[in-house]
Amino acid sequence: MAGTEAPTIYVGKKPIVRYLMAAISILLNEKPEKLRISARGRMISKAVDVAEMLKTRYLPGIVDIDAIKTGTEELQDPNQPGRVNRVSTIEITLRRTGEIGISRR
Amino acid sequence: MAGTEAPTIYVGKKPIVRYLMAAISILLNEKPEKLRISARGRMISKAVDVAEMLKTRYLPGIVDIDAIKTGTEELQDPNQPGRVNRVSTIEITLRRTGEIGISRR
């Protein structure tokens, strides 16, 4: 249950760079130990891209992937009462493994 | 390193039901302890769907998700020598948690 209050970025239809910037900004300013990247349905691929790009390209040595959990959400179909739609979800937890900061001079 | 030889299903552009049937068929016939679902790029969302549908809808109590790993593959761009394209990957390992079989009478 530790780290339940980790900040979470919900990945949706915006360009991927927005989520990268949001993640970098939170890591720089709030310096949390963990950061979650969350998505549903087709956005799951994009959430994996965000996590992998942070880990390998933009913040190597500073964040690593701590845990990945998938799930299924059941939603009432608004147009067909009684019908349940299912959608897959992912939650990727990043862990800070190095210092990140802006040095002023 | 245990289970490195687990059978692997590569999720691509075919309809999702094909991957579900492939997984069920392998689990019924080969009865492996573990089964891998693997995908790249946009097919990652579909791989999560396959794993979640097997776990929650088609084989509940029979398979569970054992581990999820993401990665980044670097490929030479065939049209631009020297340029590297990166693509995210996922590998979902399912573990058999119950008996599965066909009883004849």
What ipTM, to 2 d.p.?
A: 0.86
Q: Look at residue A1 and tell me whether its pLDDT is greater than 50.
A: no
Whether residue B88 contacts residue B43, with contact meaning beta carbons closer than 8 Å, is answered with no
Domain spans of chain A, in order of start: 8-96
Whether residue B6 contacts residue B36, with contact meaning beta carbons closer than 8 Å, is answered with yes
**Cβ-nearest to B52 among A52, A55, A88:** A88
- C-alpha B55/C-alpha B61 separation (Å) is 7
Helix intervals (H) in chain B = 16-29, 43-53
The whole-model pTM stands at: 0.88
Asked whether the beta carbons of residue B45 and residue A86 sit closer than 8 angstroms, the reply is: no
* Listed ranges A4-8, A72-76, B6-10; the one with the highest mean pLDDT: B6-10
Give the per-residue pLDDT at B1: 45
Give the per-residue pLDDT at B33: 95
- C-alpha A95/C-alpha A62 separation (Å) is 8
Residue of chain B whose alpha carbon sits nearest to that of A91:
B68
Phi first, then psi: what are they for A79, rounded to 5°? -90, -20
Confidence of residue B79 (pLDDT cuts 50, 70, 90): confident
- C-alpha B66/C-alpha B55 separation (Å) is 11
**Cβ-nearest to B72 among A41, A43, A56:** A56
Q: Look at residue B104 and tell me whether its pLDDT is greater than 90.
A: no
Instruction: State mean pLDDT over B90-98.
Output: 95
Give the per-residue pLDDT at A77: 84
Instruction: State mean pLDDT over A13-38.
Output: 95
What architecture (CATH level 2) is domain B8-96? 2-Layer Sandwich (3.30)
Q: Look at residue B64 and tell me whether its pLDDT is greater than 60.
A: yes
